[in-house]
Every structure is written in structure tokens, then in C-alpha cells.
Amino acid sequence: MPGKLAIVPAHNEAGAVGPTVAEIHRWAPDFDVLVVDDGSTDATAVRAREAGATVLTMPFNLGIGGAMQAGYLYAREHGYEVAVQVDGDGQHDPRYIKDLAARLASDPSLDMVTGSRFLDSDGNGYRSSAARRIGIRVFSGVVSRITRRRVTDPTSGFRMTDRRGIELFARDYPHDYPEIEAILLMHAHRLNSCEIPVTMRARTSGSSAISSSQSVYYMVKVLLAVFVGLFRRHPALDQPETPGAEAAGRAEECPPVVAERPT
Amino acid sequence: MILLATKYANSTEQRFEIIAVSVVICLVIFELIRRRRLMERYAILWLLAGVTVVVLSVGQSLLVKLTHAAGISYAPSAVFAIAFLFVLAMLVQFSMTISRLSDQNTALAQRLALLQERLDRERDDARPPAPGASRVTPPADRP
């Protein structure tokens, strides 16, 4: 039976990490929970263990990229087939994990499924500052253009990957603000990704990793990394099981949902 | 490049050489990032310096305005001042980075020592050693 892992990065989230772990256990009982305590100075690790999670404690704050990669290294080393990222601050609703899993399982050519805040059809979208929305718009345009498919929420960290995604991210994961670069990394290695609509909640504790004073640096750094990334050589990962994956990778939209899984 | 900028600050013909040098520097930085020899985090200041020199040499009136605004009578001095500020900024950045790396190195060594101690103790608990045996794990025991 293939193992499934929920990776929960948490930095000083003692208030939110316990309920998050409990919710994952409740709504996605087939997932093991790994909390990556990224050098917290509060009781994050204790609360996570109390809630029944395995905890990786970083000796100091590595930043979200380093913490997530530790999670993917753990997933690779323990042979997990599926890994989902769920932020420790309670923004990501674990009720959507099964939707992400269903989408990933519905199409064998898919390697990553991201929960997007902006695909919500009933207009119940995500509220945030105008500046942040504009920033997300810009990146959405850039990423969509490069990957030649619609990416509505490139900064979402709520996503699930299969074994190939785990292998890729264990080997190479962006450092500072990884979400956007991770999508492009997937694309550059000719892995397929897709979005499904989710609703995100307001954070229950802590503060965003990106303060307004850092957002200029964020924009410059990510745009630079995206630009340089275009000139790197990325070998394709092995794609043994699906010969049609290459064709699907060139499609304009996400691969269509396959009602029954081909055997 | 700064030296060139100073030397030719008043010559329109040689502006292109300054621009060329700055562009080469930007390309070298770009190539270093591409090969993962340089992280974006540390490249931004270098690229900013390169772009500043290009901008100042293309728009020489801007340089003159800056010079007047800063109360400097001689334009090349302003170029030196700007260059000095960039060098200073980079040095401060390096000092901060070295301090952080030293801290993290210490934390890593401490964590490693604690883990080593726990590993040794658990191994000793698992099979009690002969009297007088060392608690230090021989390296051959490691897989």
C-alpha cells in the first residue's frame, strides 16, 4: 500500500499547529503527518507531537524552502508515494486534501495538483490587500506564459505531488520564496501540474512570511530566479508508466479528468 | 567599471565602453546564478550596481544633477562616492552573512553532539557493554 504524507511547515505556530494536525487526521486519515518545525522558539514541536504528528526539528530557521525540502527528503527516504503540503498556520483547509488526492489519482499523467484561491466559481474568493493581488496577478501572467497553461494562483503552497514530484523536490527546491519557482521547476522537468479550486481561511495565528517591506525584494528575487531558470538545462525525469504524458504536457489546459482510471 | 566611469565621465564616445563593461559584469553574475555558484539573494546587489552604472553613463545629465544635489563640484567624485556606497553595502552584507553562518554552524555542531550522545546512550542501553568498555562508538559500527 503506497504511503501518503502531509508535510506541515511551521515556524512559531504553537497556537495553530495542533488543530491543523488534528484536522488532517480527521479529514485525511490515510495521511501520515510530518510537522517540520523550522527553528521555532515557542512550543510548536511540543504541540505538534501532542497532536500525534512526527516532528522534524530544524536546528535554526532555514526559511520555508529549506524546511519544505527537509519534508520532501523525509518523504523520499521513507518511500512515500504522495506528499501534500499543508501550512501550519491553519490557512489550508485539510478538508480539501481528499479533493487534491482525487484529482491527482484521476489522471496518471498528473504529477502535481495545487489548490487555487482564484478558481472558486461562487465568487467566494480570497480577500487580501490590493498590492498582493496585483503581485499575484503579475506572477500568474508570467507563470502562465512560460508554462503555456492557466495558472491562477502561483503563490499557493497548498499542493500535492506524486513520487516524481517528491524525487524532484528532494533533489532541488528553491530557497527563499519557493512556490512560484517550484511550479516552473515542475514544468522545466516536463512534469504536469494542475489546479483545483479551494477556499483558504484567514490565518489563526502568527504572521505572513512576507511583510510589506519585503515584498519588493520578493518580486525582484523571484523574477530574477524565474528569468535565470529559463536558461538552465533541466533533464526530464523518467516517465516509465505513461507514454502519453509528453503529449499531455503540451496541452493548453490541464489534462481532462479521466472518469475511470485506465488499467 | 567604476574606474572607467570616472576616467571617461565627460566623454560621450567612451560611454559605450563603460556600458559594455557593465553589461559584461551583469552577464558574469547571470552566468554564476545559472550555474548555481551564486544565490539570487546575493546577486541582487551586484546586479543593482551594474544597472546603476549603465543608467548613470547613459543619462549623464542625471549624474550631473546627482552631483549638484549632493554638493559635489566634480562629477567623477560622485561616481566614486556611489561606488564606495555599493562596496560598503556589499561588505556589510557579507559580514552579516558570515555572522549568521557562524551562528548556524555552532547550532549544527551542538545539535550533532546531542544526537551523537543520544545515539550512543541508546546503543549502550540496547546491549550493555563489557566492564570498562568505552562509550564512544567506533566508526566501523556506522552503516
Residue pair B51/B21 in contact by the 8 Å Cβ criterion: no
Paired with A57 in beta bridges are A37
Distance CA A122, CA B71 (A): 60
Residue pLDDT, tens place only, B7-60: 554 555 567 787 888 889 889 999 999 998 988 888 988 888 888 888 887 777
In this complex, which of A59, A224, A232 lies closest to B44 when CB atoms are compared? A224
Q: Is the pLDDT of residue A93 over 70?
A: yes
In this complex, which of A60, A220, A228 lies closest to B30 when CB atoms are compared? A228
Chain A residues with beta carbon closer than 8 angstroms to that of B104: 59-60
Looking at the complex, does the CB of residue B37 fall below 8 Å from at least one CB of chain A? no
Paired with A83 in beta bridges are A5, A161
Mean pLDDT of chain B: 80
Instruction: Pull the grid cell for residue A166.
Output: 517528491
Residue pair A131/A212 in contact by the 8 Å Cβ criterion: yes
Numbered residues of chain A with Cβ closer than 8 Å to any chain B Cβ: 59-60, 175-176, 217, 220-221, 224-225, 228, 231-232
Give the pLDDT of residue B82: 86
Distance CA A68, CA A168 (A): 12
Give the pLDDT of residue A261: 42
Letter for the amino acid at B85? Answer: L
Closest-CA residue of A relative to B111 is A59
Distance CA B67, CA B62 (A): 8
Looking at the complex, does the CB of residue B39 fall below 8 Å from at least one CB of chain A? yes
Distance CA A205, CA A203 (A): 6
* Residues composing chain B: 143
| Mean pLDDT to the nearest integer, A217-246 | 74
Looking at the complex, does the CB of residue B27 fall below 8 Å from at least one CB of chain A? no
Which value does ipTM take for this structure?
0.71
Residue A101 dihedral angles phi and psi, to the nearest 5°: -65, -40
Residue of higher predicted confidence among A220 and B6? A220
Mean pLDDT of chain A: 84
Give the pLDDT of residue B83: 84
Q: How many residue pairs from chains A and B have C-beta atoms closer than 8 A?
A: 31
Residue pLDDT, tens place only, A10-43: 999 999 999 999 999 999 999 999 999 999 999 9
**Which is it for the CA torsion A49, A53, A59, A61, positive or negative?**
negative
CA distance B43 to chain A (A): 9
Residue A58 dihedral angles phi and psi, to the nearest 5°: -80, 140
Yes or no, beta carbons of B41 and A231 under 8 Å apart? no
Residue pLDDT, tens place only, B103-132: 999 999 999 999 999 999 998 888 765 665
What ranges in B1-143 are assigned the alpha helix state H?
2-7, 15-34, 40-58, 60-69, 75-126
Chain A residues with beta carbon closer than 8 angstroms to that of B40: 175-176, 221, 224-225, 228
